[in-house]
Structure 1
Amino acid sequence: MSAEAAGAPALTLVSHALCPYVQRVAIVLHEKGLAFERRTIDLAHKPDWFLAISPLGKTPVLQVRGQSLFESAVICEYLDEVAMPMLHPQDPLQRARHRAWMEFGSTVLNTIGAFYAAPDEATLQARAQDLRSRFAQVEEALGPRSAPGPYFAGADFGMVDVVFGPVFRYFDVIDTLPGVDDLGLWQGLPRVLHWRAALAARASVQQAVRADYAEGLRVFLRARNSALSRRMEAVAV
């Protein structure tokens, strides 16, 4: 850890319990061993103090030295500059490539949102195919690789792993829902599944959410009035 980071006052991560972008920052903080407090808000009822520090009205916000940083990518870049271990590659070309795949991970999150919000079964099937196509692209990017290891870059855990830990976490719940196996999201994607398992086992990824995350996500999904929530309601009955 740098002297700058070591001498910094306590950090506060302003969070929403389910936000995958908050999880990114929490994972980086855990990876770097930085102590922080968590302040959780309800985004449906944003307090005035939060709107004063988050110009876009979104989480996460990291409060440090009396200043507030917003946007997860910016926060993660800041933390990588001030504290070890580095989570970006040293090589500029590889670092740029990893940043591109981080952006790809954000696109996958948007696709997940369209999937769980699909209003009917036909749209749900179509969005599932969109997801499957995205994961097939990730499968291609993962291999074959010269560097052995369970993570995106091989043996070294990095920022692309930070981004995809929260992506895969959705499916720890979604995969248990009725009929999801029939959608074929993971068929023929052994490298993706191996990566997913490695990230799920990583302590920083596990610690990025509260113990009640899975139940909170189930409640959130049931409330969507979507094809997926109707499947959940049918099983509950």
Structure 2
Amino acid sequence: MQDKVVCTARLLNKTNACALAMVFSLLLSSSAFFITVEALWIVVVMNIGLVLHGLILKKKIRILVRLALIQLVTTLTLYYLFHGQGQLLEGAIVVLRVLLAMVPGWWLSNTQSPERLGQVLSWGLPHKWAFVIAASLSLLPFMSRELNEIYQIQCMRGARISPKDLRNPKNWSEFVYCVLFPLLIQLLKLSKQMAMSAKLRHFNERRRPSHWPATRDK
């Protein structure tokens, strides 16, 4: 009996910690867009701390770096074409803000289990919405692996999507056709399987559904 009480208290503390981490991530992501440029270094330092924490936990940051590089190249190219060289610094600041808004979500999804995120979200959201958001966050590692595998396979097939090839905007459409479309198809298949799994488990038939205890947490 005492062991059960201790286990319940431990799970409750972890759930509360997850709620605090979620609020912190939301506030930090929002501040990346609303804070002034002069005070942006504060958010940069805090995000560096989150990245270091993720690396200590041996979480992969490769997809985040790739997205940042793609965003940087695309945004600076558009700024150069439409505004000239004088606005490149402004474009770099825009990319920095977007990256700072992404890092807290990456950290949250890598440090908190999907089932605990769903439990916290169900405190203030309908259970369907909480399930969808938690399931979407749990798909981020899957998307990273699938994107890398699809990219490598298409490069082996001779698609012009290498970093050197993507410097030419004419090859961007090939990247969308060869990489993003197959990734979208994979996600649609997976979402259909998840919906079928939830239906077979009679999801949403209870007013207060139970949550699977996160026994995998260490």
Bin for the TM-score computed over the shorter chain: under 0.3
Question: Normalising by structure 2, what TM-score?
Answer: 0.27
Larger-Rg structure: 2
Higher-strand-fraction structure: 1
